[in-house]
Structures are given as structure tokens and as C-alpha cells.
Chains A and B, each alone.
Chain A
Amino acid sequence: MKPNTLLKSYRFVAKFILAIIAISGLGSAPPVAAAEDLRIGVSRAPLSLPIYVAEAEGYFAAEGVRLRIVDCSTGRVCLGKMLGGDVELSTVANSPLVFASLEGIKFAILASISSSASNAKLVVRAGAGIANPKDLIGKKVGVFTGTTAQYFLDSYLLFYDIDPAQVAISTVKPEEVVEALRSARFDALAIFAPFTDEVLEKVVGAKALPAVRIVPGAFNLVSTPKALIGRDREIEAILRALKRANTVIRNNPERAKTILMSRLQRSRSNVESIWREYQYQLSMDQSLLASLESEARWAVRGGFVPNAQKVNLLDYLYPGPMQKVAPEFVTLFR
């Protein structure tokens, strides 16, 4: 036998042994921070209800997960915390994810936990002279740039055949919304819950333009590739807990509403009024990918991301845990 051939044989045997070890699990690394609390950044919004219900009902603990909730004002903020390493998981809508992906940031979408085509709204100031969509022409509209609200606003204007150039669009920060509208710095705001409710409640005469279900508005559970290492079982446990929570929301809505009222300090009437705007369904489907791709094209077209990289958003979907927990809701076919 030639030395080269012998060397190849040893390598083959070594690979075989390693493969056996890997298959049997003997060689796998211990779960990262398995004994530590997992942290999840959660937007203080009705879209986060499955997280709240699972926590309130003790489903995370029941599934053997120690999950600590970290409140955020928006999904974009939550995503920032996650990317900054403050939390391992985050809830976030499509748009911040699309922007992050175009910026070359790696993350993993684990599942959509809820959705709402009415979450983003246009709230107009009294006296701004805006009674219907066409009245937005020539008006000052504030928007949460880099969020679903921005995508919603562009879609809204397109839907009503309004050239965005005819509208004075500029950025408004979440913490400025009430003052911005009250002071007439803006005639209208393209924002989403819970800021919509805050403005409608605190700004006299403010009202929302009739909603149009133009943006699907998926709300997702995401993590970073680093945080996912060795945490498949914990992620599956979290998804199982969320699945149970969605069952409670569907079968015992009163209990879910009570939890939402308590968690977000909302009144019952407020919760009742918005209840039907949300769908709570654990999923990872083709429409999510289509939406992400659509938004990515929109962001690139709009030049919202300087030096946007070409990405395959399918690579950002991490369906493994969902395949194990709720395979019936995984309908990706690319």
C-alpha cells in the first residue's frame, strides 16, 4: 500500500468515527448557557400577546425554559438589543429584518408568531384637512423610518395612486409622536401600535384614516446564529410554549384579553376594539418569504439602505425547530 493511500484510509476511518460520534450526540457541544436564563426582547404591542400569554400561563417554565422578557418600544429596538447581545431572542416585524439583512447582518427567523394587516395606520391631526388618502398630497407626514410603518406608508400611497414625492415625508421618533402631532409639526403620522393608540388617546382630534389591509405585517421570533448554537431544544420548547399560548388565545380569548390588558395597561374597550386586527398563528410560510422579498426590493428601489447587499432571504429562515414543533404550519416550497 502506498503511503498516500494509507493516509487516505486513516482519514476515512477518522471521518467515519467522527460521524458516528456526531450522530450519536457524544461529540456535540453542551448547550450554550443551558442553565442560564434566555432573554427575549419583546415589543410592547398586541402582536407580542403569545409571548405574554405563554409567560402568564407558565408555559415556558412548563417546557423547561427559563426565559426572561425584556421590554422594548419597537421591534427595531428589540432587534438592536439582540444584535448588540443584550438578548438572545427578539420579536420584530418584517421591515427591520429586511433592512438588517440588506446591511449584511446575520440573523435567523425562527417563526412568525402573529400578524396584522392593520397594525400600521395613518393617524391624522385635526385641522390638517385630511379626510381621505388623496388629502395627504402636500402634507407633512412623519414615519418610523426603517420600520414596517415606512413600508406601509409607501404601499399606502401607491395603493391610492399618490406619488410619494408629493408628500413631505420625514422621520419621527417613537418617543416624539404625541408632541409631533400635537404641535402640528406633522399633519399625519405613519405609525403602529402601541403608538397609534397613544396618539389617538393623547392628541385631541387625532384620528386614523380608514385602514387598508395592504401590508400583511408578520411579527416574527428571531435570534442570532451565535445564540442559536446548541439551543435547538430550548427554541423548540419556546415554540411549543407559544403554540400552547396561541391555543389559549384562540379557545379562551377572554383570558388572553385579560393578560393583554394587564401586560400593556390597556382598557378593555381598547383591547376589544383592536382584537380583530390581529391574528395569532405560529407559522413559517411562503407569504412570509414573499413579503420579505417584496420589502427588500422596495428598500433597494427606494435606496433606503446605502450599499445594500444582495441577499437571499431564504437563508435567513431557520425552519428546523418549527418543523419539529408545528410542521403543519411550515409551508416553504422554495
Chain B
Amino acid sequence: MRIRSELVGLVSACIVLCGGSVGLVLTYANQVVSMNNVLAHMRGATRDITSQLALTQEISHYGSQRATTQWKSLHDGLRKKLDVIAIEFPKRDWELSEIQETIGVARQIFDQLQTVGPSGPGVTRSKREEFLIDLLTIQIQGAAEDFYRISDQVAVERAAAQHRMVLASIAGSVSLLLFSIAIALSLRRRVLGPIANLKSVTREFGAGSLDKRATAFRDDEMGNLAGQFNLMADRLQKQAEELKSANDGLEEKIAQRTDDLQRTTDEMKLVLVELQARTLAQERLIHILSHDLREPLNGILNFTRMITVTQGDRLDGDGHKQFAFVTRAAARMKTLLDDLLKYVRLEKNEITPVPIRLDQLMTEVGDDLLALIETNGASLKWEADMTIHGDRSLLRLVVENLVSNAIKFHKPGVAPKVFVQGTETETESVICVSDNGIGVPPADFERIFELFARLHLREKFEGTGLGLAIVKRIVEMHGGSIGISSSEAGSRFAVHLPKLAQQAGE
């Protein structure tokens, strides 16, 4: 609004000035025209009075009647012309009136000369006539001189008016030019200047000089724009400072976390070293268990059996019972050692998946567990027309453990029935082992997969407490999971094995 007002003001001033200049030029032009008219009349009057002067000379010398008549005619015309000039040129009315008076005097003198007769050689004029002619002559001569003088002055004034007109035109043009320049400069200063300033500041601001601000030096559109820019810049600068502050904190935190991580890593390295040491010790222990303990255990079993066979007749009833007890304990211990060894060795196994036909696998498991099946009068059935992927021996151990458990934990007096069903979806293969056994209380669904977890007395159901822990460990090594559902009718273990992308595409 401010810029518009200023422009309107400038343009108005320009119009006023131009109007004034045009008015002045017209005024001076009018003066020039008027003076041209005056000069034209004065030229005519000067011609008349000069002719009168000549006629006066002619009359004085020859007394011509024609000259007398012409003189009077010129006189009348001269008076009228002087009246016109006096009207058009009131500035000189006083001098013109004097000329009128002089001409009037001349006329009166001329009238006295009416009787003047022809002059020339041999004709003598009276002194009075000569005096009258002299007076008439100087009147006309004086009037003529006055005409010349006034004409010259009018010409000078006309030239001055023309000069003023030209000056007014030049002044008007120069003023117009100056106003145009002023308007252009104002526009440049008011519009382009702030824009250039804003552009420069924006560039510097964008280059990172966040303390740069536009010069909001006016209360107008550009000033408002600059003000808005500055407000925006203030906000951005504040946010940038906050961000920088936050970054500084973040860096401190990162550094702190890095330190913590480093510390933790160091600690973990220590733990790892310790763990490795423990693992080494554990391996050494496993080695001891698998070799150093099994050797004497095998010796006990072998010698016990040998004593029973070779010296059995020398033992009484208690002796047989005691030897049987030792044999069972030793066998149980050997089983425990075997299972424990299996579990520990799982930690070191690396899975190399291969396609496994589940029905073949079940046939092998059935064969392996044939003695257990027959001993317990159990039945084992399966629907396993599918291919699974994984470590063949480990998955075989999984299925074998689950089936053997299903047979072992049967209800008293009830022949165990085990059913293995293989199903699959797009993403996983599921092996379900169902039985009609004693079941598992829901509260123990988690605990049964822990190491050495036993829900029943060893005297009631044999086992090392490692079977399901081994199963869970193997399933997890394959990326899968195992779940249980159980009721009074029996239990159902479901092994979920994920299909690899490669497997899914087969």
C-alpha cells in the first residue's frame, strides 16, 4: 500500500508538474502569439507613419492635394491601429497614448497646413508655414522613432517570451525526465532494492549465515515481506540452534553409549574369554564324562554281568538282587551319560539341511523302537507323506524321543497308541506326535522342556530328564518351535519347522 501511495504521489506530482509546464508553455506561447499580433500591427503602423513622414516632406515641398488626402487617410488608419495595439498590448498603453497624443498634435498641425500650396523653386513659404512644417515633421519623426523603439522593445519581449517558452518546455521536459528517473529510482529503491537485499540475505542465509537478516526499513509490502522473512529466519535459527544443541547432546549420549558399549563389549569379551574357558572346561568335562566316566562304568557293567553269569550260582537271593541293583544303576548312569553327551554335543553341531522323507524317517524310528513298542504292547502309526528339511540324524532323534516318551508315559494297563502326522503349509512343516498317555498338566508345559526336568519318580517312569530338552534344543537349532497340548485323553506335541525359501520353492 505504501509503495502504491508513493507511486501515486510521484505520478501525481509528475502530472501536476507537466500540467504546470504545459500551462507555462501555453501562457508564454499565448504571449508570443499576442506579441506577434502587436508586432504585425506595429509594423503596419510604422509603415503608415513612415509614409506620413514622406508625405509630409512631399506636402512641404510640393503641396500635393493627393498627398494631403493620403496623409489624412493614413492618419485615420494609424489611430485605429494604435487603438488595436493599445488593446492587445495594455502594458504599453501609456507610451501608446503618448504616441496617440503626438499624432493628434501632428493632425492639428496638419490641419493648419491645409492651405499650403505648391512649393519648389520660386515659391516662398511664410515663416509660419515653415515652422508648421518643421513642427509637423518632428512630430511625425518623433512618433516614428517611438514606434521603432516600442517595436524593438516588443520584439525583445517577444524573444524573451519565446526564450521563456523554450525554457519552460525544457524545464518541463527535464522535470518530466527527472520525475521519471525519480519514479524509476523510487521503484528500484522501494521494490528492487528490498528484493535485491532479500535475495542477497536469502542466499547468505541459505549458505549457512543464519544470523543474516533482511533490512526491513519500511512499513510497506516489501517491509512486511522482509519482516516475515526475518521472523522465519529467527525461527529457523532458533530451531537450528536447538538442533545443534540436541546434536551436541546426542553426540555426548552416543559417545557415552559408545563408551558403555565398549565397556560392555570389553566385559563381554572377558565373559567370552571366561565362557570359552568354561566351555573348554566343559568340553574337558564332557570328555571326562564320555570317556573317563564311561570306561569305568562299562567295566562295572561288564564285570557285573560277568560275575552274574560266572558266579551267579554262588549268590543267594539277596546277592542277586544287589547285583541287579548295581547293574540297573550302572545302566541308568550310562544312559544318563549318553543323553548328557548328546545334549552337550548339540552345542557344537552345525545344521546342514537336507531333504528328508518323513515316512522313511518314521520307518527307521519304528525299527529302532521296535523292542520298546513290543515290550509295552504299543502301536505306532503315522501319516507322513511329506518331505522335511534339516539334519537327518538330529530330526530322527527328535521324532524318536517324542515317540519313545509317548510310549513310556502311558497310562497303567492301557496299551500306548502313538500317532505321528506330518502336515505342511506354505511356510512351515509340522510334525505332530499324539498319544493316549498320562498327559501333562498345563502348569508344566514349560518346565518339561528344561534340563533334568522330571514330573514323575524314576521308579515310576524311567528317564534321564534330558529328552525333551534335547528335542527343544534341536528344533530351535532348525529355527523352529515346539508346543504341547494335553488333556486326560493324552498329549500332543507339535514340532514346527520353518520352510526355507529354497525349500518352499521346491
Residues of A participating in the B interface, judged by any CB pair closer than 8 Å: 117, 154-155, 158-159, 161, 212-214, 216, 276, 279, 281, 283, 285-287, 290-291, 293-294, 297-298, 301, 328-329, 331
> In the assembly, what is the distance between CA of A285 and CA of B148, in Å?
10
> Is the beta-carbon distance between A161 and B134 smaller than 8 angstroms?
no
B145 in complex: contacting residue of A158, A276, A286, A294, CB < 8 Å: A286
> Is the beta-carbon distance between A297 and B145 smaller than 8 angstroms?
no
| Given A159-B105, A294-B137, A281 and B149 contact (CB-CB distance below 8 Å) | yes
Residues in A neighbouring B266, C-beta threshold 8 A: none
> Is the beta-carbon distance between A158 and B130 smaller than 8 angstroms?
no
Q: Which of A214, A283, A328 has the most CB of B within 10 A?
A: A214
> Is the beta-carbon distance between B141 and A213 smaller than 8 angstroms?
no
Does B144 lie at the interface of the complex (its beta carbon under 8 Å from any beta carbon of A)? yes
Q: Which of B137, B138, B145 has the most CB of A within 10 A?
A: B138
Q: Which of B95, B132, B141 has the most CB of A within 10 A?
A: B141
> In the assembly, what is the distance between CA of A328 and CA of B153, in Å?
11
| Given A117-B102, A214-B105, A298-B131, A328 and B152 contact (CB-CB distance below 8 Å) | yes
> Is the beta-carbon distance between A161 and B142 smaller than 8 angstroms?
no
Tell me how far the C-beta of A263 lies from the nearest C-beta in chain B, rounded to whole angstroms. Answer: 24
> In the assembly, what is the distance between CA of A8 and CA of B108, in Å?
65
Residues in B neighbouring A279, C-beta threshold 8 A: 95
Residue of B nearest to A216 (CB): B142
> In the assembly, what is the distance between CA of A287 and CA of B140, in Å?
9
> Is the beta-carbon distance between B105 and A287 smaller than 8 angstroms?
no
Within 8 A of A (CB), among B95-120: 95, 98, 101-102, 105, 108-109, 112
Residue of B nearest to A217 (CB): B142
Residues in B neighbouring A117, C-beta threshold 8 A: 98, 102, 142
Selected A-B contacts with CB under 8 Å, 6 pairs: A158-B131, A281-B149, A285-B149, A291-B141, A297-B130, A301-B127
> Is the beta-carbon distance between B135 and A159 smaller than 8 angstroms?
yes
> Is the beta-carbon distance between A287 and B138 smaller than 8 angstroms?
yes
A290 in complex: contacting residue of B105, B108, B137, CB < 8 Å: B137
Does B128 lie at the interface of the complex (its beta carbon under 8 Å from any beta carbon of A)? yes
A213 in complex: contacting residue of B94, B102, B134, CB < 8 Å: B102
> In the assembly, what is the distance between CA of A287 and CA of B102, in Å?
13
Residues in A neighbouring B127, C-beta threshold 8 A: 301
Residues in B neighbouring A283, C-beta threshold 8 A: 145, 149
> Is the beta-carbon distance between A290 and B141 smaller than 8 angstroms?
yes
> Is the beta-carbon distance between B98 and A298 smaller than 8 angstroms?
no
> Is the beta-carbon distance between A158 and B135 smaller than 8 angstroms?
yes
> Is the beta-carbon distance between B131 and A291 smaller than 8 angstroms?
no
Tell me how far the C-beta of A224 lies from the nearest C-beta in chain B, rounded to whole angstroms. Answer: 26
Closest 4 A/B residue pairs (Cβ): A294-B134, A287-B145, A290-B141, A287-B141
| Given A158-B131, A328-B152, A213 and B138 contact (CB-CB distance below 8 Å) | no
Residues in A neighbouring B149, C-beta threshold 8 A: 281, 283, 285, 329
Q: A297-B134, A331-B148 are in contact. List 13 more A-B contacts (CB 8 A).
A: A158-B132, A159-B109, A212-B105, A213-B105, A214-B139, A287-B142, A287-B144, A290-B142, A291-B138, A298-B131, A298-B134, A301-B131, A331-B145
What are the interface flags for B164-199 relative to A under an 8 Å C-beta threshold, 1 for contact and 0 otherwise?
000000000000000000000000000000000000
| Given A117-B98, A281-B149, A287-B145, A294 and B105 contact (CB-CB distance below 8 Å) | no
Residues in B neighbouring A331, C-beta threshold 8 A: 145, 148
Residue of A nearest to B103 (CB): A213
